[in-house]
Structure 1
């Protein structure tokens, strides 16, 4: 698990939380499962429960939600008025076809890479973004010239200039905050890589001028359309810290969309 976390590789952790009667694995048994359903390490019993748990692990990694699987003999499912595949009060039921006829409850938890905030530039807003983003649980990548790197107190990754890797594990949110120092180069680098969100800190007029330059330099309209400019929610922000807050508020809104009930989300918005 530590090795996969360090590599930024998603996996699911399945834990047996309850057993009744005869089962191969007992409460506390764990297994690490890859996104394709391969069991990488650990043990949760034989084929009686494995199929249902591996399926739940694949689904959990796809949507980021936990699962509780209850594997029971068919007669016990019938007594409760449920069938294999039913889900009731947060529990999904599966049938135990093994002769042992034991019951087992398994909690399946997706372990996903932390979201990564990539700050391009060393403006006061960029420094404030890095500080606040780290405290909000983001892995932080700082892209800045060597002489500007000391302005950032901490970073999980430091890149001199704007040479971003094209692909990255987990979600990635890019914010260009160069304040006139390498605006165009930073924007080209940000738009050339995969990311959930690409934003530019600057006025609308400046963003429009830079967009025209990007087009003149052959950047496609589909790529340019990914750019959110100006960055952030309209909070009436003035100071660098307030602007950083508005940018991270917008990223949080994008990250959490769909993760809460409609009523709650509406109230929060």
Structure 2
């Protein structure tokens, strides 16, 4: 959504009309998840995607028609019918696209509407090599990030230029934050103590994804101590550890890719 929001600001600054196309509802195998959004310009240019292929082409065509008419509307689709067999789509779902028209002059109201859209935030605990590579990938994936690290030399806007915020603080004194079910926490500090303190903090939130780096042995030893401290088994079951998809990653870059892949799986309802 970051690039879409930027495009909206640019369109409103120019007073140019556009449409926002979103997957409003759906069932079965979908090309993208419900809520996926695409901006369509008057000339057919786009930002974002609702799944590509013929479905997206038709959505762009319909959006351009509605822009020309100055109207909002919707577009049902069925990828499980013969219609799908004649296209390049291999999904089998059906649903409805919402197409909202904007004339480019509703900037204040539209900005409030976009601000309410929950992109899902990633909090990275640790500012080392893996964290730095993960932040770069998260930026490409348009995932807003916050970095928490107890060493100032490893936590600065220069080191993490894409971060919305960098917080230099010890892990036993992390500021309170309201993380919701779409938010994610990745724990990659430089030591077991920092990992544990960050994990205890994350488990107090409603974060939908919590992942911690380390071996199974390290995890099991940490969990044993946490159980003794009264941490419930149901809380520990929320944690993805060892973190990342099992792709045999070894370098910081490869480990960051494996973590990012698991974050994508979570965002798409598959983790």
When the two structures are superposed, what TM-score results if normalisation uses the length of structure 2? 0.55
Q: Take 1:169 and 1:176, find their aligned partners in 2: how far apart are those partners?
A: 17
Residue equivalent to 1:113: 118
Q: Take 2:209 and 2:268, find their aligned partners in 1: how far apart are those partners?
A: 13
Q: CA RMSD in A?
A: 3.9
CA positional deviation for 1:127: 2.1
CA positional deviation for 1:139: 0.6
CA positional deviation for 1:210: 0.9
CA positional deviation for 1:131: 2.2
Q: Residues 122, 89 of structure 1: CA spacing in aligned structure 2 closer, same or farther, 3 A cutoff?
A: closer
CA positional deviation for 1:169: 6.1
Residue equivalent to 2:232: 220
Residue equivalent to 1:196: 208
CA positional deviation for 1:176: 0.4
* Secondary structure, aligned partner of 2:227: helix
Q: Take 1:230 and 1:213, find their aligned partners in 2: how far apart are those partners?
A: 17
Q: Give the alignment partner of residue 35 of structure 2, picking from 44, 51, 64.
A: 64
Residue equivalent to 2:155: 149
CA positional deviation for 1:257: 3.6
- Unmatched runs of 5 consecutive residues or more in structure 1: 7-27, 33-55, 70-84, 91-105, 259-269
Greater Cα radius of gyration, structure 1 or 2: 1
Contact 2:213/2:242, CA 8 A, preserved across alignment: yes
Q: Does 1:175 align with 2:190?
A: no
Contact 1:121/1:176, CA 8 A, preserved across alignment: yes
Q: Residues 86, 212 of structure 1: CA spacing in aligned structure 2 closer, same or farther, 3 A cutoff?
A: same
Residue equivalent to 1:22: none
Q: Residues 218, 63 of structure 1: CA spacing in aligned structure 2 closer, same or farther, 3 A cutoff?
A: same
Q: Does 1:246 align with 2:258?
A: yes
Contact 2:23/2:36, CA 8 A, preserved across alignment: no
